[in-house]
Amino acid sequence: MSRCLPVLDYLQRQLDGRLTDGDTTHMRYPTAISTLLGFRIVEIGEALAVLEFDADATLHGNQQGTLHGGLLCELADAAIGTAHSTLMSEGESFTSIDLKATFLRPVWKSRLRARAWATHRGRTISHYQCEIQREDGKLVTSVASIVMTLHGERASGR
C-alpha cells in the first residue's frame, strides 16, 4: 500500500531507516544531483537541513588545485533546498531567486558539512543561511539565499 508522506516525515523516516516500500513524498528524494555528487542528508528538521559531502580537489578541483567554488555553491543550494522542501505541501514547489556566496578558505580534501536554516519564513519569500565547514570545524563558505515558494498553477510541473 502506497502512502504519500509530508517531506519532513519522509526525510526523517529515511534518516532513521524507517521508510517502507510504499512510502513516498510529492518531491524527489534523493535528488538526481545529490546522488550524482554524493551529497548525504545527515540531519533534518523544519526549515533546517544538514548535508555532508566528501570533497577531493583531485576530482572536484579548479585551475588552482583547490575545490571548485561552484561545487560549494551547489552543496549550499542543495542544503537550502532540502531545508525549504520540509515546508512544502502537496501542490507547492519552490525556486531559488538569489544566492550569494562568501568564500573564506580553501579546501583540498575534507568531509564538508553544510548546515542550512531559515532566517525568515514568509508565505512566498523566505531567506536562508548556509554555513559549510571542513572536518576540522573551520568555516569554508557562508551562503545567503532567497527562496520563492510557488503555489497552485505556478508550482505545476516544477
Q: Which CATH number is 115's domain given?
A: 3.10.129.10
Does residue 28 belong to any structural domain of this protein? Answer: no
Could you tell me the CA-to-CA distances from 77 to 1, 5, 73, 100, 139 in Å, in that order? 34, 23, 6, 10, 17
Q: Looking at the domain assignment, is residue 127 inside a domain? A: yes
Q: What is the pTM of this model?
A: 0.95
> Who wins on pLDDT, 15 or 158?
15
pLDDT tens-digit map of 82-92: 999 999 998 99
- 54 within some domain: yes
Number of domains in the chain: 1
Other CB atoms within 10 Å distance of the CB of residue 77: 21
Q: Is residue 112 part of a domain?
A: yes
- Strand segments, DSSP code E, in 9-104 are 23-25, 40-45, 48-56, 92-103
- In terms of residue numbers, what domain contains 112? 33-155
Residue 40 forms part of a structural domain: yes
Better pLDDT: 58 or 21: 58
Does residue 158 register a pLDDT over 70?
no
Q: Is residue 129 part of a domain?
A: yes
Strand partners, 99: 145
* pLDDT of 152 over the 90 cut: no
Q: Is residue 49 part of a domain?
A: yes
